[in-house]
Amino acid sequence: MAADFLYEFIGVNAHITLEELTQLFASGNMPDDQRAKLLDLLLWYGFLGVAREGGEIAYIYSVKYDIKRLKALVKKQPENIVLYYINPAFWAGLEIIH
């Protein structure tokens, strides 16, 4: 199931909110108990970055592969505004809107 999950991102916006990501999990039939782990994997492999204050995007490699630090950036954002950013390396292959 998770192996094909990246296809759920075809045609989405490069900026994606937590709510939109949750909808993608649902449309991809991702079980609730596996969603947090999948999100961690998407962050760890640099598919998703986290928007910082001022518009800078932090990916796993920009925080020296410290997943706890990257997740701390997520927690600093208001829950209703958590914003992820799809790595530009995937834009062409997934027809990401930017």
3-state secondary structure of 36: helix
Long-range contacts: 49-55, Cβ < 8 Å, 24+? 49/84, 49/85, 49/86, 49/87, 50/74, 50/77, 50/83, 50/84, 50/85, 51/15, 51/77, 51/83, 51/84, 51/85
Can you read off the two tokens belonging to residue 44? 């760890």
Can you read off the two tokens belonging to residue 7? 């296809």
Question: CA Rg, the chain, in Å?
Answer: 13
Lowest mean pLDDT among 1-10, 33-42, 45-54, 57-66: 1-10
Judged against a pLDDT cut of 60, whether residue 1 lies above it is answered with: no
Domain parsing of the chain, residue ranges: 9-94
pTM value? 0.89
